[in-house]
Amino acid sequence: MFRLERRARTRRALAVTAALAVGAVCAFVVSMMLGSYVLGPGEVLRSVLGLSSDPADDFVVRELRLPRAATAVLVGLALGAAGSVFQRVLRNPLAAPDIIGISAGASTATVAGLVLFGAGGLGLSVAGLAGALATAAAVYLLAWRGGIADYRFVLVGVGVAVLLESVTGYLVSRAEISDARAAMTWLVGSVGMAGGGEIAGLAAGCAVVIPVLMALSRRLGVLELGAEGARGLGLRPQAETAVQLGCAVVLVALATAAAGPIAFVALMAGPIAGRLLGPAGDRVLASALVGSIIVQAADLVAQHVLPYPISTGIVTGLVGAPYIAWLLIRTDRQGVGA
């Protein structure tokens, strides 16, 4: 009986993960089909694979649309995986990096690099990574009281995020007009701003960190049992928590440096993946794929559905704000944290 149930869970996990992967690939192709110059899926695939003989198609796909589409995929993968790790390690659905200050730290450091030092490309990625790591360390230390309690970590993170947003606002207010305009555009969040350096850094980060998190996913499940339960099963919970959150912070920093603080993707991806998978399956990979679909869908809406193009972060914010309100109401009714 147990074997049959386990096989059923495995089949469901494989089916869900495969469906999410197909959905992410389809969204990627569609994003390069649409525009003032409409292409068919075959033309897009041939151009991406280097099999096209039409220079016009190659220019539109590779030069104009591929960087934006690739950024949407990578940012979604990074935020989805990172959000799932934060929520599961801290055992709190509100523990997303954009809620607890990690994205704000990356944003403040990136805006400082942009406004004060004129940084770009790889420099912005380094600044975002440094800001996110410093913020995560500060929140971790401030929330430490002989261990990490989920709600204390969230509350400290919210306070740090407000402080950092104030610092960011000050930096923008003191900047030159052109720098301030660039910073404000970046702060809204859009996958169309990334340059080659940011995209390369984010791709390398996803290629390294997401497989690491997948390899550590079983330990992540043990951490969900709490510190005592994890210790009883042979893990060092504080060291394991630091490793898991450190990997997630790297993903958030690189995604933020590439596209700005795209809100609520990390918050929504993990719970959606968990509902689809049920009790089995690799939630890190599924959450990453859900995040990719969310960001790509939001960018398609931002670019092609509305009367005029807007930033990707505006669409995710419009969807995410009602979600977080519903989440807070549900959490309060369940008495979580009481």
Query: Identity (one letter) of the amino acid at 205?
Result: G
**Residue 219 pLDDT grade (very low, low, confident, very high; cuts 50, 70, 90):** confident
Cα→Cα distances 123→71, 113, 205, Å:
17, 8, 15
CA atoms of 121 and 188, how far apart (whole Å)? 18
Question: Are 158 and 101 spatial neighbours (Cβ–Cβ below 8 Å)?
Answer: yes
Please state, rounded to an integer, the average pLDDT across all residues of the chain. Answer: 86
Beta carbons within 10 angstroms of residue 102's beta carbon:
32
Nearest to 198 by CA among 112, 259, 130: 259
Section 83-90 average pLDDT: 90
CA atoms of 268 and 206, how far apart (whole Å)? 19
Question: Are 259 and 194 spatial neighbours (Cβ–Cβ below 8 Å)?
Answer: yes
Section 268-283 average pLDDT: 84
Nearest to 156 by CA among 172, 137, 179: 137
Buried b (16+ CB within 10 A) or exposed e, 250-259: bbbbbbbbbb
* Domain of 180, in residue numbers: 2-334
- pLDDT on residue 17: 92
**Residue 6 pLDDT grade (very low, low, confident, very high; cuts 50, 70, 90):** confident
CA atoms of 293 and 27, how far apart (whole Å)? 7
Query: Is residue 203 scored above 70 in pLDDT?
Result: yes
Quick one: how far is CA 318 from the chain centroid?
17
Nearest to 239 by CA among 255, 251, 222: 222
CATH number (domain holding residue 243): 1.10.3470.10
**Total count of residues recorded for the chain:** 338
- pLDDT on residue 30: 95
Write the CB contacts of 25 (distance below 8 Å, at least 6 apart in sequence).
Answer: none
Q: For 120-147, what is each residue's pLDDT tens digit?
A: 667 777 888 899 889 988 998 888 876 6
Q: For 318-328, what is each residue's pLDDT tens digit?
A: 888 788 777 77
Greatest alpha-carbon pair distance for the chain in Å reads 68
Instruction: Please count the structural domains in the chain.
Output: 1
3-state secondary structure 280-299: CCCHHHHHHHHHHHHHHHHH
- pLDDT on residue 179: 78
Q: Is 54 left (phi over 0), alpha (psi -120 to 50) or beta?
A: beta
Range list of H helices, the chain: 2-33, 41-48, 55-58, 66-89, 102-116, 122-143, 150-173, 177-188, 196-215, 217-223, 227-232, 237-259, 265-277, 283-300, 312-334
- pLDDT on residue 324: 79
**Residue 281 pLDDT grade (very low, low, confident, very high; cuts 50, 70, 90):** low
- pLDDT on residue 227: 67
Question: Are 246 and 136 spatial neighbours (Cβ–Cβ below 8 Å)?
Answer: yes
